[in-house]
């Protein structure tokens, strides 16, 4: 009788989806700790938390569906049973617009909220670029006053200092879409009666301004003219502006002066008689005045016309937090860390739902970028402080060990009983070492009878072990001590404190 071959079991591969990654204990702890500091600042400024679903309708998100074959351009989307297209949120602002439009009769005006959570982008992943990442936003909806923009700028400064970026290592830069519109109007690139005119040229100009840091003035000037050929020989077409038009745009980017008042005075000259431009300059002057009165000087907040943040999306002031300290790139060259947060005024977003303009302004912090910056500054403790491990010397006395753990936890000390195989005591200490535990608690039968316990300073023991060569030296080392059972909590707390000071 022929043997029947067993069908080979097909097992799934244990691997991440492309563009996604896992976060383990230390990384999650660092992020949560930083977010707690950020949201504390937000709460101090009167913002309330809002949590929205990870999924919104594509219609609410405002994403364009190019065709039925790929409806998820830029987002992860699918069609529900009722034929509604839904998608994972790509930011935290679009859900806010939907929430405000939906509940505006129940919400206070202005409505001030902060939100924290992951967002998803269906984009090509790359080194350090993932399809899921965290954002931390704060927004004020329902007030047109520029005081709301000034408040966001000051709060952004407070937030950076609260998480550990010292003054002098960052700058909050502020610009205004209206000022740029005024400059474009003076340059003959914006017709307020027909915004579709010169739209292609304006797009090239905006992208050129955004590349100032990378290309320098000469590179931008080339893009304002006929175009630019890069080092590889690739050619990028330009806006074909006249020399006079290009001079106006270049003058705008070079308008920053030593203080906000001088910068605004120069901008007034550049926008000429443009009412839109003059209104934008006035808003920048008000922001400088309001933030200056609260102590946010030019060392913290700067009026900077070169700031461009998707200006087609924003309708007024825009702001960006830039870290100014140097880091080394992959080739060992010095460069500045760059932007970690940005935002601005967007008065048209809620209008998509209501048909009426609803003023709004807000900021979004790139959580992963800011965490990376704190690590560069040495402001994150990369050590994971694990729990105190209560070892098991006698399985029949598990209740005693659980009592110890309960006492430690009730005193606010993270602790656990070893729940693996207790036969090999060495394995228990290996487990404690793998958890980066600060202290191990040991109570065998003799200790129980004598009313004492042994506590072992694992951090100190690890440091001493490197220099111990004999058994006698090991016995004499001070990393382990016997204490009265009643002093367990106080002595463990002291031992943990000594280890963290060291």
Alpha-carbon distance of 282 to 260, in angstroms, equals 12
Alpha-carbon distance of 363 to 320, in angstroms, equals 9
In DSSP terms, 117 is beta-bridged to 135
Long-range contacts made by residues 145-149, C-beta under 8 angstroms, separation at least 24? 146/283, 146/286, 146/287, 146/290, 146/316, 146/317, 147/286, 147/290, 148/110, 148/361, 149/283, 149/287, 149/316, 149/317, 149/319, 149/344, 149/345, 149/361
What is the average per-residue pLDDT within 243-269?
87
| Helix, strand and coil in the chain, % to nearest 5 | 40, 20, 40
Alpha-carbon distance of 79 to 58, in angstroms, equals 10
Q: Residue 334 pLDDT > 80, yes or no? A: no
- In this predicted structure, what is the pLDDT of residue 216? 84
* Tokens, residue 345: 């005024």
Contact partners, residue 460, CB within 8 Å, separation at least 6: 478, 479, 498, 499, 502
What is the average per-residue pLDDT within 326-352?
80
SS (H, E, C) 164-208: CCCCCCEEEEEEEHHHHHHHHHHCCCCCCCCCCCCHHHHHHHHHH
Q: What is the mean pLDDT of the chain?
A: 86
CB 363 within 8 A of CB 7: no
- In this predicted structure, what is the pLDDT of residue 460? 75
Write phi, then psi, for 200 (nearest 5 degrees).
-65, -45
User: Side by side, which strands form the sheet with 317-328?
Assistant: 48-49, 111-120, 132-141, 360-366, 334-345, 317-328, 170-176, 301-303
Candidates 165, 183, 149; CA nearest to 303 is 149
Q: Residue 482 pLDDT > 70, yes or no? A: yes
C-alpha angle 148-152-158 in degrees, rounded to nearest 5: 140
CB 116 within 8 A of CB 146: no
**Treating both helix axes as pointing N-terminal to C-terminal, what angle do 199-210 and 243-253 enclose, rounded to 10 degrees?**
40
- In this predicted structure, what is the pLDDT of residue 124? 85
Does the reported pTM lie above 0.85? no
Instruction: Read off the pLDDT of residues 140-164 as tens digits, 9 standing for 90 and up.
Output: 999 999 999 999 999 999 999 999 9
Alpha-carbon distance of 4 to 16, in angstroms, equals 36
**Which domains does the chain carry?**
388-501 (3.40.50.800)
Confidence of residue 361 (pLDDT cuts 50, 70, 90): very high
Compute CA distances 269 → 76, 173, 188, 209, 281, whole Å. Answer: 47, 21, 16, 19, 10
As a whole number of Å, the CA-based R_g of the chain is 30
CB 378 within 8 A of CB 168: no
Of the CA atoms within 13 Å of residue 119, those in its CB half-sphere come to 24
Provide the residue count of the chain: 502
Confidence of residue 2 (pLDDT cuts 50, 70, 90): low
CB 182 within 8 A of CB 280: yes
CB 125 within 8 A of CB 131: yes
Of these ranges, 40-54, 321-335, 345-359, 473-487, the one predicted with the greatest mean pLDDT is 40-54
């Amino acid at each position: 009788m022929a043997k029947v071959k067993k069908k080979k079991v097909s097992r799934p591969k244990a691997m991440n989806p492309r563009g996604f990654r896992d976060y383990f204990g230390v990384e999650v702890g660092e992020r949560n700790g930083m977010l707690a500091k950020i949201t504390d600042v937000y709460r101090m400024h009167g913002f309330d938390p809002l949590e929205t679903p990870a999924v919104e309708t594509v219609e609410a998100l405002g994403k364009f569906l190019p065709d039925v074959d790929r409806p998820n351009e830029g987002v992860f989307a699918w069609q529900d049973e009722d034929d509604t297209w839904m998608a994972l949120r790509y930011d935290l602002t679009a859900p806010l617009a939907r929430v405000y439009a939906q509940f505006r009769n129940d919400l206070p005006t202005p409505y001030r909220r902060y939100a924290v959570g992951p967002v998803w982008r269906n984009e090509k992943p790359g080194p350090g670029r993932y399809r899921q990442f965290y954002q931390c936003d704060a927004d004020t909806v329902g007030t047109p006053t520029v005081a709301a923009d000034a408040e966001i700028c000051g709060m952004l400064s407070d937030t950076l200092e609260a998480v550990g970026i010292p003054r002098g290592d960052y700058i909050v830069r502020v610009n205004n879409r209206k000022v740029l519109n005024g400059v474009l109007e003076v340059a003959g690139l914006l017709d307020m009666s027909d915004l579709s005119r010169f739209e292609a040229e304006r797009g090239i100009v905006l992208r050129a301004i955004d590349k100032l840091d990378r290309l320098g003035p000469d590179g931008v000037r080339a893009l304002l003219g006929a175009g630019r050929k890069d080092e590889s020989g690739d050619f990028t077409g330009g806006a074909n502006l006249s020399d006079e038009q290009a001079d106006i745009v270049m003058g705008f980017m070079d308008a920053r002066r030593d203080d906000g008042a001088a910068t605004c005075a120069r901008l007034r000259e550049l926008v000429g008689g443009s009412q839109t431009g003059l209104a934008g300059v006035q808003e920048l002057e008000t922001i400088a005045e309001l933030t200056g009165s609260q102590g946010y000087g030019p060392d913290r907040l700067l009026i900077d016309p070169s700031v461009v943040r998707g200006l087609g999306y924003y309708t007024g002031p825009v702001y960006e937090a830039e870290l100014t300290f140097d880091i080394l790139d992959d080739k060992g060259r010095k460069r500045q860390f760059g932007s970690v947060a940005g935002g601005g005024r967007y008065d048209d977003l809620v209008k998509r739902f209501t048909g009426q303009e609803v003023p709004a302004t807000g900021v979004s912090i790139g959580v992963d970028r800011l965490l990376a910056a704190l690590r560069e500054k040495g402001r994150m403790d990369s050590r994971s402080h694990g729990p105190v491990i209560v070892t098991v010397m006698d399985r029949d006395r598990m209740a005693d060990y659980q009592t110890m753990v309960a006492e430690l936890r009730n005193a606010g000390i993270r602790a656990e009983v070893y729940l693996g195989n207790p036969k090999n005591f060495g394995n228990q200490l290996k487990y404690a070492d793998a958890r980066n535990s600060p202290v191990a608690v040991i109570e065998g039968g003799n200790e129980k009878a004598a009313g004492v316990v042994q506590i072992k300073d694992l951090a100190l023991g690890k440091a001493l072990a490197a220099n111990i060569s004999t058994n006698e030296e090991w016995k004499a080392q001070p990393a382990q001590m016997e204490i009265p059972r009643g002093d367990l909590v106080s002595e463990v707390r002291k031992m943990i404190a000594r280890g963290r000071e060291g």
